A = this chain, B = another copy of it.
Amino acid sequence: MSNKIPTRIYLTEDEMPKSWYNLRAVMKNKPDPMLHPGTLQPVTAEDLAPVFCKGVIEQELNETSLHIPIPEDIQDFYRAYRPSPLIRAYYLERALGTPAHIYYKFEGTNTSGSHKLNSAGPQAYYAKKEGLKSLTTETGAGQWGTAMAMACAFYGLELIVYMVKISSQQKPYRKALIEAYGANLIPSPSDTTESGKKILAKDPKTGGSLGCAISEAIETAVKTDKCRYVLGSVLNHVLLHQTVIGQEAQIALEKFGVTPDIIIGCAGGGSNLGGLIAPFMGDKIEGRNEIRFIAVEPASCPSFTRGRYAYDFGDTAQTTPLIRMQTLGSGYIPSPNHAGGLRYHGMNSTLTKLFHDGLLEARSAAQTEVFDAAIQFMKTEGILPAPESSHAIKAAIDEANECKKTGQKKVILFGLSGTGFFDMTAFQSYHEKTMTDQIPTDADLERGFATIPNIPQNVQ
């Protein structure tokens, strides 16, 4: 609003991060290791080699190097769409009448519509470098599928995207965009894989889930020559790539001359939240700040707030290594709500650990109140937010309203992880008041929990 204080800050390209920030290296209590589901021993690089690229396996298992250099080629890739802006929400603040100062890091200015490109680029780069010809992946709401399609077009790789069936039907234009980038899109579950056929045999009318789509993508990757699987969230190497968000935010906040009191991110598998908070959390662990970190998840898929802390599979067909995480059970199929994303049954292991160590708070928000927040945000700040990101907006507004009550002038930073251009059916149903909250009953959750494997939880 003033001529003196800027509304948004972009770093120059030479200020952009040259390394990723590996939070696990500063954590006193490391997240529990991934286990081989047969031996229940920590997985090795060899165990993961049939599924993942070597480059990311190394990162997945690295708990000691704090700064992992970003290869020059990937820095070039990042420069094709970054830096992303850090924006002061002057107009939202004015509408709320809050003394709080609200900032958001906006990752939605690229065509994938979200932060997902930050990991899609590196994952495609390593695949190309290792001589692979193709990749497989899954996508739910479609941001990750779009990001991988873009990255594969850029690096000249073939890509098969298993898209959650209900999502491919609800979002034909998202499908068209992924196809325009040259990827082969298959609605999941499909009859192209054994795991897909099994799921279809049980429930021919299922709309699918991320867990199903992951099973199909892994199966195809393992069976195909010079092909590997890539995942857009949950795993630690994905969170690592996303730390460009937090590092850029940190530098930009310094330019604004402020330090945050609260940092908020939406959480599905955890990639956006983990990437945003990593360097700030590292500083907190080392005693350099007292920031409150808040994860916001949908009430319809509440792995933090109503899930169990257990070793569980990453996919429905139970083919992945076991990860100790907050989980609803790999068999949990969330309601086909409009949040589209944030529908994964489990949470990244590092964020899970931080949550249990009291370093990270979590709360859930119901769909309609999330859209209330989205509409207030878009009418004041202009930007059409993704339903996923609107969970963070909801919590930021709540915290700012709390400041209004107490008179505290807190600095709130939240992650605006993406845009809602492909979510207009959801905005339409909100507008027409046909949207419901679809919160699972305890019985719904119990059905999911029943699919968590019954293994000792202190195996390592």
User: Residues of A with Cβ closer than 8 Å to B?
Assistant: 1, 3, 6-8, 10, 12-14, 72, 75-76, 79-81, 91, 109-111, 113, 117, 150, 153-154, 172-173, 176-177, 179-182, 375, 378-384, 419, 421-422, 424-425, 427-428, 431
Contact of A76 among B1, B76, B173, B431 (CB under 8 A): B1
Q: How far is the CB of A394 from chain B (nearest CB, A)?
A: 17
* Contact between chains at B91 and A154 (CB < 8 Å): yes
Q: Measured between alpha carbons, how far is A180 from B1 in the docked complex, in Å?
A: 25
The answer for the CA separation of A14 and B14 in the assembled complex, in Å, is: 21
- Nearest residue in B to A12 (C-beta to C-beta)? B6
Quickly give the copy total for this chain.
2
- Whether A80 pairs with B180 at a CB distance below 8 angstroms is no
> Complex Cα distance A110/B72, Å?
30
How far is B427's CA from A61's CA once the two chains are assembled, in angstroms?
41
Check A10/B7 contact, CB under 8 A, given A150-B382, A181-B379.
no
Report chain B residues within 8 Å CB of A173.
Answer: 173, 421, 424-425, 428
Given contacts A176-B428, A424-B176, contact A383 B111 (CB under 8 A): yes
**By DSSP majority rule, is chain A's interface helix, strand, loop, or mixed?**
helix
Task: Identify 12 new A-B residue pairs, CB closer than 8 A, beyond the known A111-B419, A172-B424.
Answer: A6-B12, A10-B10, A80-B381, A91-B154, A111-B384, A154-B382, A173-B421, A173-B425, A177-B384, A177-B424, A180-B431, A181-B378
> What separation, in Å, do the CA atoms of A14 and B3 have in the docked complex?
7
| Contact B13 A6, beta carbon cutoff 8 Å | yes
A421 — which chain B residues lie within 8 A by C-beta? 113, 173, 421-422
Q: How far is the CA of A384 from the CA of B383 in the complex (A)?
A: 18
- 9 closest A-B pairs by beta carbon, nearest first, are A173-B424, A421-B421, A176-B424, A153-B379, A7-B79, A176-B428, A10-B10, A111-B384, A6-B13
Residue of B75, B113, B382, B425 near A110 (CB, 8 A) is: B382
Q: How far is the CA of A292 from the CA of B13 in the complex (A)?
A: 30
Query: In the complex, what residues of B have CB within 8 A of residue A419's CB?
Result: 111
**Can you list 14 A-B pairs with a CB-CB distance of less than 8 A?**
A1-B76, A6-B12, A7-B79, A8-B79, A10-B10, A110-B383, A113-B421, A150-B382, A154-B379, A154-B382, A173-B173, A173-B424, A180-B384, A180-B431
- Known A-B contacts A419-B111, A421-B422; the reply to A179 vs B10 at CB < 8 A is no
Q: Determine the distance from Cα of A172 to Cα of B429 in the docked complex, in whole angstroms.
A: 13
CB-CB under 8 A from A76, the residues of chain B are 1
Residues of B within 8 A of A379 (CB): 153-154, 181-182
Distance (whole angstroms) from the CB of A460 to the closest CB of chain B: 41
Most chain-B CB neighbours within 10 Å: which of A3, A179, A382, A427?
A: A382
Scoring A7, A113, A422 by chain B CB atoms within 10 A of each residue's CB, the highest score goes to A7
Find A176's partner among B113, B172, B427 (CB 8 Å cutoff).
B427
Minimum CB distance partner of A109 in chain B: B109
Q: How far is the CA of A12 from the CA of B12 in the complex (A)?
A: 10
In the complex, A1→B80 CA distance in Å? 9
| Distance between A108 CB and nearest chain B CB, rounded to angstroms | 9
In the complex, residue of chain B having the shortest beta-carbon distance to the beta carbon of A87:
B80
Chain B residues positioned under 8 Å from A14 (CB to CB): 3, 6
Bound: A431/B12 CA distance, A: 37
* Residue of A7, A75, A111 most packed against chain B (CB within 10 A): A111
* Contact in complex: B111, A180 (CB < 8 Å): no
Q: In the assembly, what is the distance between CA of A72 and CA of B12, in Å?
A: 27
User: Which chain B residues lie closer than 8 Å to A12 at the CB level?
Assistant: 6
Contacts of A80 in B (CB 8 A): 7, 91, 381-382
Q: Find chain B residues with CB under 8 A from A81 CB.
A: 382-383
Q: Quick check: A375 and B180 within 8 Å, CB to CB? A: yes
**A180: nearest chain-B partner, CB-CB:** B427
Name the residue on B nearest A179 (C-beta). B431
